[in-house]
Structure 1
Amino acid sequence: MLLTLRIRDFVIVDKLQLDFKPGFTVLTGETGAGKSILIDALGLVLGERAEPGMVRAGAAKSEIEAEFDIVHLVPLQTWLADNELVGDDHALLMRRTVDSNGRSRAFINGRSVTLQQLKEAGEHLVDIHGQHAHQSLLKADAQRLMVDGYGGLLPLAAEVKAAWQAWQSLRRTRLEWEKNAAAYAAEREQLQWQVKELSALGFTADIWRDLQTEHARLSNAASLLEGAQFGLDLISENEPSAAGVVGSVLSRLQGLAEYDPALCETIELLESAEVQLREVAYGLRHYLQRADLDPQRLQEVESRLDAIHGMARKYRVSEEVLGELLATKQVRLDELGGEDADDGLLKREQAAEAHFRQVAMQLSARRAEVASELGQRVTTEMQQLAMASGRFDITLKPQAEGSAHGLEQIEFLVSANAGMAPRPLAKVASGGELSRISLALQVVASSVASVPVLVFDEVDVGIGGRVAEIVGQLLKRLGAAHQVLCITHLPQVAARGDQQWQVAKHMADGNTLSSIRELSAQERVAEIARMLGGVAITDTTLKHAEEMLAG
């Protein structure tokens, strides 16, 4: 829900902060007081076009900031994470600035974003319905999503989209294959002998490492043997040897330790050294006995290494990646398949198309049922909203080839008057009618609507009396499922609000400024009375206002 809207230097607002509540909020005031400024500011922070005239006269820039609670909006949370725009504690802060030249900047959770990103986030949050605002209701995608959402068809629609994408991917692959069949055949033949050649090398990273180690050992055989024998002679075999010298010193000191215990520590060190020297001598003898420094083996290892080096030069890669090269070529060979690869691709494509059409036909059948039910329910709601002869239809226009969205295009049709054939909504509905049709749709589909904030501007154009009461009741009902904000001139609508704000203009330092404030219970009586009786407010008018609010 929308928590707070802060407006600074926007049109005729100098500084304003509005804290919103759940439910149905009405916005009232004298004509020309600036009620639409709130809607315009909200639209701007949601990505609408910015203009220089939006900056208050004398100010350098306008700034609009909106804070939302998005704890229940999982798709939006996912979108924010994907775009690295996550905020704190499931809060979303959107900000827009416009300078006096019309240049604007946009921010989400303190990070600079594009206008498109601002719009994408806004589409998850607020839907504005009015004569002078962007109408999502007129978008083909929005109409399709409303039908699918209302009927619980979104999972099936997602399955259809996935099936379509799989079919199209195979179709593109098959067409590319047919276009390049000769080149693929030549590539496949080349890959076959390359894979055979690389496989015969028997190369792995472990074998390569072991061969290098073994070669280093075998090619230095003489030095290894000489060094080991040299060490053994000095430590154990020669006279005197290191082991013999240590043993003599140890024997001499052991005889003297009884006269001075201070020698005991030195004797322990010598005893340890004597043991270590014996271990070294044993190790060197064992090394000399088992050393496998066969010249023939050296020749075999060098032959293997030469083969690996040669293969690496041939393919112009380092030796370490020969294994990866083999794997890559094997994958590509598998992709190209055998001699009948084109036939296999065609069969897979045909199977994918059959699957798409199967699930798409299931979706079409369900959509037809949902369209009929939704159309009838919206027609019923419309006829209560000063459109007694109105009719609302949802048509499914077949598409033989299909698309990612199924086998039909969904379009909303409306007939505002008796005897008129239904026509596309965007072509026949006036601003006021469109707002009321939208209201009827939102009420019917409120249980599945994903946007938490609904704003209605001028939904009461051309109605009054009993119809106005019905509009108020519908908005009240809608406010139980969404956060609803409505600009209205009708006391019947305003009286149904959970809270009421009043917009007023005043003069300050020679400038006209607009202000908005929430009305108390008693102030609401006075405001409803003003809307009922105009300039002269009588006791009867006040009593009538109290009765409307109590009802």
Structure 2
Amino acid sequence: MLTGLSIKNYALIDELQVSFNNGLSIITGETGAGKSILLGGLSLVLGKRADLSQINDKSKKCVIEAVFDIANYDLKLIFEEKDFDYEPQTIIRREILPSGKSRAFVNDTPVTLENLVFVSGYLLDIHSQHQTRQLIGDSYQFMVIDALANNKTLLKEYSTLLLNYKSIERRVKDLEQSMIDAKKEYDYNQFLFNELNDAQLKSDELEDLETQFEQLNNVEIISETLSLTKSLLNNEDIGIVDKLNEVKRALNRINDFNKDYKSVEERINSVAIELDDILIELDVFEENLSSDPEELEKVNQKLQTINNLLHKHSVLEVSDLILIRDDLNQKISITENLDDTITEATAELGIIKTQLKNISSKISVNRQEVIPKFTKNLETILSELGMPNAKFNIVIEKTENFKANGMDDLQFLFMANKGSQFTELKKAASGGELSRIMLAIKSILANYIKLPTLMFDEIDTGVSGEISNKMGEIMKLMSKNMQVFTITHLPQIASKGDWHFKVYKTDVDEVTHTQMKALNYDERVVEIAQMLGGLNVSDSALAHAKQLLN
């Protein structure tokens, strides 16, 4: 429940601090006294967007702080969900800086407005005339019926499944589009792959093929060169080997005379040995040399194929062609496997669809079961609120669509008077009737949804007399289970409060300020008497006020 409120530098409020208790708290004040300012400050705590114009003194920041006692409310998991520090005495603070920048804090931890709205929704519900219009919306009507039907767990399970369903549904659509796109390129990719695959590429073969080609293409000149080389080395008359042997014999005659001669002889011997090895290798080259036109053509074609592919794919290395081939193969495989993937995803979608239908059916049954009792209770309360002929026909129709909260369409059909037709609530009910309907619904919901604090802002507009007295009794009854505030102009309702606060204006140094104070019994008598008969309080008005309070 709301235990304290502090407002500084907001609109006409210079500084205000007030404490609250459980039960029914009444807030009264003359028109223009500043009750709307009080609600505006509370709305900022709930996450309403701030406005620099709301700051009274533009040189100072505006600070609004609300203290909630939530020890008896199961809200710890809600705080953990948003990673907030949970405290039994929770403090929410909003600050509007002179620059216009706004900040929000929960237990001194900075939070976003989105998260503030989420958490504050579990702490305080302000019901104003504007919010009465929520009653005609599907989401609010579904919320009411589902709260009575205890569908919270089923709806959470349904929501999780629906999220998964939509995710898989998007995936199937993406896969189907990918299949369409892939099939457009499939034949071309297959052609390119076959062309590269038939080439039987090896990453290091280009250099070898070029070597083979040069050798096969130049057999004659290679043969002639080898023969000439062997002749120059080994000819009996002019061969280098024979001449070298003569050098060896000549040096052998003098090698004992000087060690340097001996060294040169040894070097000549090494050269002779190397030349012998070269001659052997040249013999091998000559033996292995053969003319093979078919092999030459085969190598030439392979070289042309590779060079054409390199040019076609704008790369320089065979290894790049291999990467392209493998990538094409992967694309082809993905295309060929897309059908299986789509089939599997579609099957999974079918399973979840069945589960969604089963859960939504349970949700719908629960809704149908609570409607008769809800309708009866609603009509009974409205009768007590001066609408004896009000009738409701709440219709649920199953659809084939997966909506955010099931597969139902919901209509609140209303008939205010005998002899008229059931019509959509938004067309059939006036503003005053909607306010009473909302109060009736809230009073029923109070037995199903546990809110720490509920605040009514002039929900009694347009009613008087016995109806207002009944309104007060309903609010009083609701306050047994929750903290209830009501801003009212009616003395019958004001007299029902456990606590009474007055909002008023004062002028200090030609500056108007809004103040708020808790009234004691005598002050309450005067306030209610003024609500009954005006500022000039008569003895009869005082007596009537005491009678109402007692």
Q: TM-score, normalised by structure 2?
A: 0.66
Q: How far off is 1:57 after superposition?
A: 5.3
Partner residue of 2:63?
63
Q: CA deviation at 1:357?
A: 1.3
Per-residue Cα deviation, 1:357-400 (whole angstroms, up to 9, x for no partner): 12211221221222333233223222332334433443335431
| Amino acid in the other structure paired with 2:18 | L
What SS is found at the alignment partner of 1:410?
Answer: strand
| 2:47 matched residue in structure 1 | 47
Q: Give unpaired runs (5+ residues) of structure 1.
A: 187-332
Is residue 526 of structure 2 the alignment partner of residue 537 of structure 1?
A: no
- Taking a change above 3 Å as real, the CA distance of residues 105 and 140 of structure 1, as seen in their structure-2 partners, is farther
Measure, in 2, the Cα distance between the counterparts of 1:127 and 1:418. 34
SS at match of 1:145: helix
Q: 1:472 to 1:345 in 2, by over 3 A?
A: same
Contact conserved, 1:128 with 1:135, CA < 8 A, in 2? no
Could you say which residue in structure 2 is the equivalent of 1:147?
145
State the shift of 1:2 in Å: 0.8
* CA displacement at 1:120 relative to structure 2: 1.4
1:538 deviates by 2.9
- Superposition RMSD in Å: 3.3
Q: Tell me the alpha carbon deviations over residues 61-99 of structure 1, each in whole angstroms, 9 at most, x when there is no partner.
A: 32211111222443x433332333214x32322111234
In 1, are the aligned partners of 2:70 and 2:452 still within 8 Å (CA)? no
SS at 1:84 equivalent: coil
Give runs of aligned pairs for residues 166-177 of structure 1, distance below 5 A. Answer: 166-177=164-175
Quote the offset at 1:60 in angstroms: 3.1
Alpha carbons 2:179, 2:338 under 8 Å: kept:
no
Equivalent positions of 1:228-377 (< 5 A) are 342-377=342-377
Distance 2:457 2:527 in 1: 19
Cα distance in 2 for residues equivalent to 1:535 and 1:520: 18
Evaluate the alpha carbon distance shift between residue 157 and residue 35 of structure 1 in structure 2; reply closer, same or farther with a 3 A threshold.
Answer: same
Shift of 1:523: 1.8
Deviations 1:321-365 (A, max 9, x none): xxxxxxxxxxxx9xx999966545444432332222122112212
SS at match of 2:366: helix
For 1:422-442, what per-residue CA distance to the aligned partner results, in whole angstroms no more than 9, with x for missing partners? 555456655443332221101
Q: Displacement of 1:407 after TM fit?
A: 0.9
* Range with greater deviation from structure 2 (373-382 or 518-527): 373-382
Paired-residue identity, %: 33
Q: Please say if residues 9 and 59 of structure 1, whose CA atoms lie closer than 8 Å, have aligned partners that are also in contact.
A: no
Give distance in 1, aligned partners of 2:420 and 2:476.
Answer: 32
Paired with 1:488 and 1:377, the residues of 2 have a C-alpha distance of: 25
| Residue identity opposite 1:124 in structure 2 | Y
Look up the match of 1:82. 81
Preserved contact between residue 24 and residue 485 of structure 2 (Cα < 8 Å): yes
Q: How do residues 425-504 of structure 1 correspond to structure 2 at under 5 angstroms?
A: 425-426=425-426, 429-504=429-504
Q: Note closer, same or farther for the CA distance 1:11–1:174 as it changes in structure 2 (3 Å cut).
A: closer
| Selected match of 1:98 from 96, 99, 102 | 96
Which stretch of structure 1 is more off in the superposition, 94-103 or 114-123? 94-103
> C-alpha displacement at 1:24, in angstroms?
0.5
Q: How many residues align?
A: 404
| Equivalent residue letter for 2:81 | D
User: Partners in 1 of 2:79 and 2:133 — Cα distance?
Assistant: 24
Question: What amino acid is the match of 2:84?
Answer: L
Q: Specify the SS of the correspondent of 2:153.
A: helix
Aligned twin of 1:378: 378
Q: Tell me the distance in 2 between the aligned counterparts of 1:16 and 1:165.
A: 46
In structure 1, the partner of 2:109 is 111
User: Would the alpha carbon gap of residues 13 and 165 (structure 1) be closer, same or farther in structure 2, given more than 3 Å must change?
Assistant: closer
- C-alpha distance in 1, partners of 2:517/2:364? 50
- Aligned CA distance change for structure 1 residues 339 and 171 (closer, same or farther; 3 Å): closer
Partner of 2:310: none
Measure how far apart 1:518 and its partner are: 0.8
Secondary structure, in 3 states, of the residue corresponding to 2:472?
helix
Q: Is the 8 A contact 2:147 2:449 kept in 1?
A: yes
> For the residues of structure 2 that align with 1:105 and 1:486, how far apart are their CA atoms?
28
Aligned letter for 2:157?
E
* Contact persistence 1:386–1:467 (CA under 8 A): yes
SS at match of 2:481: coil
**Distance (whole Å) between structure 1 residues aligned to residue 470 and residue 115 of structure 2:** 38
What is the DSSP-based 3-state SS (H/G/I as helix, E as strand, rest coil) of the residue aligned with 1:78? helix
Deviates more, 1:353-362 or 1:514-523: 353-362
Q: Report SS of the residue matched to 1:124.
A: coil
Distance change in 2, residues 1:412/1:6 (3 Å): farther
Match in the other structure for 1:24:
24
Matched position secondary structure for 2:147:
helix
Amino acid at match of 2:88: H
2:25–2:498 CA contact under 8 A, matched in 1: yes
Deviation, 1:478, is 0.8
After superposition, the C-alpha distances for 1:290-320 in whole angstroms (9 at most, x for unaligned) are: xxxxxxxxxxxxxxxxxxxxxxxxxxxxxxx
List gaps (5 residues or longer) in structure 2. 187-332
- Give, in whole Å, the separation in 2 of the partners of 1:406 and 1:522: 55
Conserved 8 A contact 1:55-1:62: yes
CA contact (8 A) 1:129 1:135 kept: no
Report the CA distance shift for 1:54/1:338 in structure 2 as closer, same or farther (over 3 A).
closer
* Cα 1:519–1:121 shift into 2, 3 Å: same
**Alpha-carbon contact 1:435-1:456 (below 8 Å) kept:** no
**Residue among 123, 128, 131 paired with 1:130:** 128
Question: 1-side partners of 2:375 and 2:73: how far apart?
Answer: 28
Distance 1:377-1:73 versus aligned 2 partners, 3 A rule:
same
Aligned-partner residue type, residue 10 of structure 2? F
Query: Structure 1: how far apart are the matches of 2:153 and 2:538?
Result: 58
The answer to whether the 8 A contact 1:128-1:134 is kept is no
